[in-house]
Amino acid sequence: MFADSRLSPLPHVPARAPAMPPALRVGLIGMGTVGTGVWRVLRRNQALIAARSGRAVEIVAVATRTPARAAAAQAEAPGLRLLDDPLRLAADPGVDVLLELAGGSAARDWVLAALAQGKHVVTANKALLAEHGEQLAQAAVRHGRVLAYEAAVAGAVPVIKALREGLAGNRIDALAGVLNGTSNYILTRMQAAGLDFATALAEAQALGYAEADPSLDVDGTDAAHKLTLLAANAFGLPPALDAVHVEGLRDLQPGDMAAAAQLGYVVKLLAIARRGAQGMELRVHPALVPAQHALARLDGASNGLLVRADAAGEAFFSGAGAGGEPTASAVLADLVDLARHPGTDGRWGGPTAIPTLGLRADAPAAPLPMAQVRTRQLLRLLPGKTFNEAQVLRQLAHAGVKVERRAWGPAEAAGASPSLLLLTAPVPDGLAAQAAERLQAHTGARVRRLRVEDFGAQQFE
């Protein structure tokens, strides 16, 4: 081949492996349950994460109110810097990404400071985003940085990614979820063991599932925070907590659970967003769910989300909704995204960037008042005296409420009359409430009212 003496093979040059980019340097605020979980999983899976990211991901500095935990981390990584002021960490030139896991309203200043200093931000603070998300998203765009928050909704379950990326080619029509692990644990125990609310709550607190002050969880506020973030990504609605109708668990009774079970249902605290002809439904409240439905089978502290889209149809996501390592899984997914993206070393933005809180151009009509939302209803009549069933049905028909199914349930106490269970056709919520009040006034019975979500074609499309 090289007969011509003037030609000779090129000298052999050993192939060089491409140099790995510098590590993504993370500054962590908060070493509580989630912060400690992130540290632990990142240390355990460090090589795997670096291989998948194309670069190392390292926590290089920590600001915390629990210095003992931070000191333990520093013993494992002597180069770790400890700071006592989150704002100093937000301005630290040796940090590429601020990881905010302390929670609370003060985090707004830390996030804004970090974005202004050219740092990306990852947070699990759903209350912060529900209340100040628009301001923070605009700041991220202004500074060409990313505000990521997969861990703010449903713990380990990647629902934000699913809506923004996996279902990006779909028109989302509706979503419904069990989004609060504390409430779901309480309802599971009330349903399975016949406990009243107070006893189930005390058990949840003893096991560490509920805070000493459980209000955010059991009153539905935590689920409402998460619903605003899901609705922003699915429908383009700006996060607005006051647009969500919110009811909690405190009023539920064991008899409600028994009545639901008798009719083939389970009671869940549902967070629902649905696109309708009259407007957007945004609501959090207890509701009956068919016992065989995937949402009904979520027990304990599990979370789950049902999404209905025009092309994909129904998709269901479920998993651990809380806890240090499950939430760390979602945090690390955001960090890996940042490490992979070439914009980490420069500005991130432009018309092709994934919008922080959905596309406002997709925003549907204004939220629909709860009184106009149509659902089926369970009316449970607890008679103070004997009453006439036919009279009850006539009164409801006169009010415009059609009863599709009726049954007699057990009495609330020994010697009391049995309860009457009435399952209605879909009816506006305000009309159902008025009918229940009038029925109570005319019959002397106590009327318990619960909404029913069958997720059927007429109700959930």
Helix (H, G, I), strand (E, B) or coil at 269: strand
Contact 324, 151 (CB under 8 A): no
- Report phi then psi at 69, rounded to 5: -65, -40
Query: Does the annotation mark 161 as catalytic?
Result: no
Residues near 140 by beta carbon (within 8 Å), at least 6 away in sequence: 115, 121, 146, 147, 356
- What is the distance between the alpha carbons of residues 212 and 25, in angstroms, rounded to a whole number? 36
CA neighbours closer than 13 Å in the CB half-sphere of residue 300:
9
Q: Do residues 364 and 280 touch, judged by C-beta distance below 8 A?
A: yes
Q: Indicate the SS3 state at residue 402.
A: coil
- SS3 state of residue 436: helix
Is the Cβ–Cβ distance between 411 and 419 less than 8 Å?
Answer: yes
The string of DSSP codes covering 223-248 is HHHHHHHHHHHHH-PPP-GGGSEE--
> Catalytic: which of 226, 268, 385, 402?
226
- Max Cα-Cα span within the chain: 116
Contact 89, 63 (CB under 8 A): yes
What are the tokens at 103? Answer: 């929670």
Please state the separation of Cα 118 from the chain's center in Å.
28
- Measured CA to CA, the distance from residue 344 to residue 24 in angstroms comes to 8
Q: Which of the residues are catalytic?
A: 226
